[in-house]
Amino acid sequence: MTGQDAGSLAARLAARNAAFGPLSIADYMDACLADPEHGYYKRRDPFGASGDFTTAPEISQIFGELIGLWCAEVWRGMGSPAQLRLAEIGPGRGTLMADALRAAASVPGFRTALRPLLVETSPALTAIQQDRLAASASDAAWLGSLEDVPDGAMIVVANELLDALPIRQFAFTDAGWRERCVAVAGDGRFTVCLRDANAAALAAIPATVSGHAREGDIFEMRSEADALAAQLGRRAAKHPLAALFIDYGHDRSAIGDTLQAVRRHRPADPFSHPGECDLTAHVDFGALARSARDAGLEVHGPMPQGRFLNALGLAQRASRLMAGMDDPAKASLIGSGARRLADPGQMGELFRVISLTGPHVAIPPAFEEAAQ
């Protein structure tokens, strides 16, 4: 339910519903997050203490630094090409990129070969990223889409991007799978309803899920993530490519309603305050891996974030940073930040890391053990 004025997102969605019928959950999510005027990401900086949530790069500088060093190793595994694009999709405040570039500078030849590209759809966040990187990365460039990256070797990095891409939801009923939708009434009231699912969507529900479905079960699908994997596959057929995605989610496709809303650091109803809440859903890494393999990519992981960061030397980096600090309060923050990223009870298990690589790219660091 929501109060509304004529220009509000709720009023716009009600008009759309009146003209075209209820919205799919994906269309609703897309409008709430990316509407050019009212979308959650389009206008504000949602990160940090004053925003709605915080992310790994904002918790510890070590996160971006280790990813920068991971990229350097991957570049070596590509045969150290003279030019490499490092494209981050959904860079938030630009913190991961800034930390990664600082660490990259310590690897001979890497920073010179590297061109930082930031793929961002939010004008507000683009401005923050430009400000953040102005002094340290004057060679950085901004793109609206990964399609715009020029030919050549590329590494793609995205932290907490996939969870923000819209999902569709399907509910298992006594009449089989049906698609969940949102009906928006003229008074701004939101109701979840069901409609027939199209054949393509039905075919995309894996047999491992459908075979055990019971009435009331919900299955989620994220076509933009599948399309991204397909796009990476097409590019990898022509140019050296590696990608790294970090997000919360599950390793295998499974039943579950994971759509969640956060407003001012508190859980909220996803169907209230449209455009004012961060809406996300867990990432189905099983589905992403299937799409990537179908597109001809090698899949490494998913593995827990804690194991990934520890394999890259999280503890050693934290100790070294702490040893160089005079202020015990600051040193203690470094320690607690590192624990927050890697402890199984905090972000270490819930967050998963997956890497997708094209032909002729060595197995990326931290994934070698899993490959044996």
The dihedral sign for the CA sequence 320, 324, 330, 332: positive
Nearer of residues 22 and 39 to ligand SAH, judged by Cβ: 39
Q: How many whole angstroms separate alpha carbon 71 and alpha carbon 95? A: 16
Nearer of residues 61 and 159 to ligand SAH, judged by Cβ: 159
Q: Is 159 in the site for ligand SAH (CB under 6 A)?
A: yes
The minimum distance between CB 108 and ligand SAH, in angstroms, equals 28
Question: Which string of x and - marks every residue 79-98 that binds ligand SAH (by CB under 6 A)?
Answer: ----------xxxx---x--
Q: Is 65 in the site for ligand SAH (CB under 6 A)?
A: no
Q: In the 8-state DSSP scheme, what is residue 344?
A: I
- Residue 113 has phi, psi (to 5 degrees) of -75, -25
Nearer of residues 128 and 204 to ligand SAH, judged by Cβ: 128
The packing angle between helices 123-133 and 95-104, to 10°, is: 30
Nearer of residues 197 and 232 to ligand SAH, judged by Cβ: 232
The minimum distance between CB 242 and ligand SAH, in angstroms, equals 18
Among candidates 180, 262, 270, which has minimal Cα distance to 219?
180
Residues 24-53 that bind ligand SAH (CB under 6 A): 41, 47
84-89 vs 154-159, strand pairing mode: parallel
Nearer of residues 122 and 357 to ligand SAH, judged by Cβ: 122
Buried-exposed string 300-318: b where 16+ CB fall within 10 A, e elsewhere? bbbbbbbbbbbbbbbeebb
User: What are the tokens at 40?
Assistant: 């959650």
Measure Cα distances from 196 to 170, 176, 193, 281, 339 in Å.
10, 9, 11, 22, 46
User: With CB under 6 A, what is the number of residues at the site for ligand SAH?
Assistant: 19
Nearer of residues 113 and 228 to ligand SAH, judged by Cβ: 228
Q: Is 128 in the site for ligand SAH (CB under 6 A)?
A: no
Amino acid in position 143: L
CB of 57 within 8 A of CB of 95?
Answer: yes
Q: Is 116 in the site for ligand SAH (CB under 6 A)?
A: no
Among 57, 188, 270, 364, binds ligand SAH (CB under 6 A): 57
Q: Is 160 in the site for ligand SAH (CB under 6 A)?
A: yes
Compute how many other C-beta atoms are within 10 angstroms of the C-beta atom of residue 326: 6
CB of 110 within 8 A of CB of 167?
Answer: no
Q: Is 133 in the site for ligand SAH (CB under 6 A)?
A: no
Q: Is 120 in the site for ligand SAH (CB under 6 A)?
A: yes
Residues 211-250 that bind ligand SAH (CB under 6 A): none
Chain residues binding ligand SAH by CB under 6 A are 41, 47, 55, 57-58, 89-92, 96, 119-122, 125, 159-161, 164
